[in-house]
Chains A and B, each alone.
Chain A
Amino acid sequence: MVWATLARHLLMRPPAAQAAEPAMAAAMAARLQQAGQHRLGRSLAIRHVAAGSCNGCELELRAIQNMIYDLTQYGLSFTASPRHADILLITGVAARNMAEAVRQAREAMPDPVLVIAIGDCAVDGGVFKGSPAITGGAESILPVDLLISGCPPAPAQIIEGLLALVEAHGVESLAKD
Chain B
Amino acid sequence: MTPVKCSESEWRNLSGEFVALWTSAGQAYALFDKGLFSTAVLDGGYPALSPRYPGADWFERLARDLNGHTAHGLSPARTAIEHFRAPDGSAPWPEFSVPPGEEVHQIAVGPIHAGIIEPGHFRFSVHGERVLSLQARLGYSHKGTLALMRGKSPRLAARFAARISGDATVAHGIAFARAAEAALELPVPPRAAYLRAVMAEIERIANHAGDIGAIAGDAGFAFLDARMARHRENFCNAAYAAFGHRLMMDNVIPGGVAGDIKTAGADEILRALDALETELPALTRIFEDYASLQDRLVGTGIIPHALAEQYAAGGFVGRASGRANDARKSPGYAPYDALEVAVPIETDGDVAARIRIRLAELIESNRLIRQSLAQMPEGQIAAAPPSGSGMGLGVAESFRGPVWHWLTLEAGMITDIFIADASTLHWPLLEHAAATGIVADFPLVNKSINASYSGVDL
Q: Is the CB of A55 within 8 A of B142?
A: no
What CA separation (Å) do A96 and B116 show in the bound complex? Answer: 20
Q: A97-B142, A98-B140, A131-B147 are in contact. Are A54 and B119 (CB under 8 A)?
A: no
Task: Decide yes or no whether A39 CB sits under 8 A from chain B.
Answer: no
- Which A residues lie within 8 Å of B118 (CB)? 50, 53, 55, 58
Cβ of B139 and Cβ of A80 under 8 Å apart? no
- Tell me if A151 counts as interface (CB < 8 A to partner B): yes
Q: Is the CB of B119 within 8 A of A50?
A: yes
The 0/1 profile, CB within 8 Å of A marked 1, for residues 98-129 of chain B is 00000000000001101111110000000000
Of A59, A65, A101, the residue contacting B247 (CB under 8 A) is A59
Cβ-defined contact, B117 with A132, below 8 A: no
B164 is an interface residue with CB less than 8 A from chain A? yes
- Residues of A contacting B249 with CB < 8 Å? 56, 151
Cβ-defined contact, A54 with B144, below 8 A: no
B6 to chain A, nearest CB (A): 32
Which B residues are in CB contact (< 8 Å) with A60? 246
Interchain CA distance A174-B159 in the complex, whole Å: 45
Cross-chain contact B112 with A131 (CB below 8 angstroms): no
Contacts of A49 in B (CB 8 A): 112, 119
Q: Could you say which of A48, A50, A51, A78 has the most chain B C-beta atoms within 10 Å of its C-beta?
A: A50
CB B166 to nearest CB in A, in angstroms, measures: 3
What sequence of 0s and 1s flags, for each residue 46-79 of chain A, a beta carbon within 8 Å of any chain B beta carbon? 0011111111111111110111100000000010
Contact of A66 among B111, B144, B230 (CB under 8 A): B230
Size of interface on B: residues with Cβ below 8 Å to A: 51
- Tell whether A27 is near chain B: CB-to-CB under 8 Å: no
In the complex, the answer to whether B139 meets A97 with C-beta atoms within 8 Å is: yes
Would A67 and B289 count as touching, CB distance under 8 A? no
Residue A176 interfacial (CB < 8 Å): no
Tell me the complex Cα distance, A51–B141, Å: 7
Given A59-B247, A67-B226, A100-B84, residue A53 in contact with residue B166 (CB < 8 A):
yes
Is A63's CB under 8 angstroms from B232's CB?
yes
B163 & A127 in contact (Cβ 8 Å cutoff): yes
| Chain B residues within an 8 Å CB radius of A131 | 143-145, 147-148
Tell which of B90, B119, B147, B279 has the most Cβ of chain A within 10 Å. B119
Task: Knowing A55-B167, A56-B166, A100-B84, say if A63 contacts B233 (CB, 8 Å).
Answer: yes
Looking at the assembled complex, report how far the CB atom of B204 sits from the nearest CB atom of chain A, in whole angstroms.
14
**Contact partner, B226, options A51, A55, A66, A132, Cβ 8 Å:** A66
Residue from the list B112, B116, B147 in contact with A78, Cβ < 8 A: B116
Residues of B within 8 A of A99 (CB): 84, 89
Contact B285 A8 (CB under 8 A): yes
- Which of B112, B139, B232 sits near A105, CB closer than 8 Å? B112
The answer to whether A68 and B230 have CB atoms under 8 Å apart is yes
CB atoms of B229 and A66 under 8 A apart: yes
Tell me, yes or no, whether B454 is within 8 Å of chain A by CB. Answer: yes
> Which of these, B140, B143, B453, contacts A101 with CB under 8 Å?
B140
Q: Collect the chain B residues with CB atoms within 8 Å of residue A127's CB.
A: 148, 159-160, 163
Cβ contacts A to B, 15 pairs, < 8 Å? A52-B119, A53-B166, A54-B163, A59-B167, A61-B116, A63-B233, A65-B229, A78-B116, A95-B141, A97-B139, A97-B140, A98-B141, A101-B112, A127-B163, A130-B148
Query: A-side interface residues toward B, CB under 8 Å?
Result: 1, 5, 8, 12, 15, 18, 48-63, 65-68, 78, 80, 92-93, 95-101, 103, 105, 127-128, 130-134, 151-152, 154
User: Which residues of chain B have a CB within 8 Å of any CB of chain A?
Assistant: 81, 83-84, 89-91, 111-112, 114-119, 139-145, 147-148, 159-160, 163-167, 169, 210, 214, 226-227, 229-230, 232-233, 236, 240, 246-247, 249, 279, 282, 285, 289, 452-454
